[in-house]
Amino acid sequence: MNHVKNLKRYVLFARAIPLILSACIERKGIELTQNRVEPSAEVALTIVYDNNPYDVRLTTAWGFSCLIKLSQKVILFDTGGDGSILLSNMAKLSINPQSIDVVVLSHIHGDHVGGLAKFLEQNNRVTVYMPASFPSQMKQEAKSKGAKVVEVHEAKELFEGVFTTGELNGGIKEQSLVVRTSKGLLVITGCAHPGRVNMVKRAKEITKDKVYLLMGGFHLTGTSPSQINHIAESLLQLGVAKVALCHCSGEEARKLFKGYFSENYIDSGAGKQIAIQ
Q: How far is CA 251 from CA 103, 128, 194, 216, 220, in A?
A: 28, 32, 20, 14, 9
In total, how many domains does the chain have?
A: 1
Of 24-33, 51-60, 184-193, 263-272, minimum mean pLDDT range: 24-33
In a domain, 43, yes or no: yes
Residues 123-146 have pLDDT tens digits of 999 999 999 999 999 999 999 999
pLDDT band at 31 (very low <50, low <70, confident <90, very high): very low
The pTM of the full predicted model, rounded to 2 decimals, is 0.86
Q: Is residue 25 part of a domain?
A: no
Domain that holds residue 48: 30-276
- Is 252 inside any structural domain? yes
Give a yes or no: residue 39 inside a domain: yes
Q: Is residue 15 included in any domain, yes or no?
A: no
Query: Does 192 fall in a domain?
Result: yes
Give the domain CATH number at 238: 3.60.15.10
Q: What is the pLDDT of residues 34-83, one digit of tens each?
A: 334 444 579 999 999 999 999 999 999 999 999 999 999 999 999 999 99
* pLDDT single digits (tens) 85-135: 999 999 999 999 999 999 999 999 999 999 999 999 999 999 999 999 999
Residue 172 lies in a domain: yes
136 falls within a domain:
yes
